[in-house]
Amino acid sequence: MKFRPLHDRVLVKRLDSDTKTAGGIIIPDTAQEKPMEGKIVAAGAGARREDGKIVKLDVKKGDRILFGKWSGTEVKVDGDDLLIMKESDIMGIIEK
């Protein structure tokens, strides 16, 4: 892929949510909510301060993140459905 977000934006691939509840009930596609968990595919260099210096992002390519339900803009890159969002839309990094 030849796409690099600018400034403090990141490109995110949604991770698939579970299609089965803990009790074993299968949830149909039409009733499922979009997952709010994703993996960063690409990240910009960072936000530019008023004095011109760049502040690096806290996230990097490969991080698993949690973001808001309505965060980001859906884009299609190389046939993949991805989200592009600002770092401020990210709620946190999921660590294992």
The CATH number of residue 73's host domain is: 2.30.33.40
pLDDT score, position 77: 85
Q: Which residue has the tokens 């190389």?
A: 78
Tell me the residue range of the domain where 64 lies: 9-17+27-94
Residue 29 phi/psi, 5-degree rounding, is -55, -35
- Digit-coded pLDDT (tens) for 71-87: 888 988 888 889 999 99
Residues 23-73: tens digit of each pLDDT:
666 665 554 556 588 999 999 988 888 898 999 998 999 999 998 888 888
What pLDDT is recorded for position 48?
87
Q: According to the model, what pLDDT value does residue 85 have?
A: 93
Question: How many independent structural domains does the chain possess?
Answer: 1
Residue positions counted in the chain: 96
The pTM of the full predicted model, rounded to 2 decimals, is 0.72
Domain membership of residue 3 (yes or no) is no
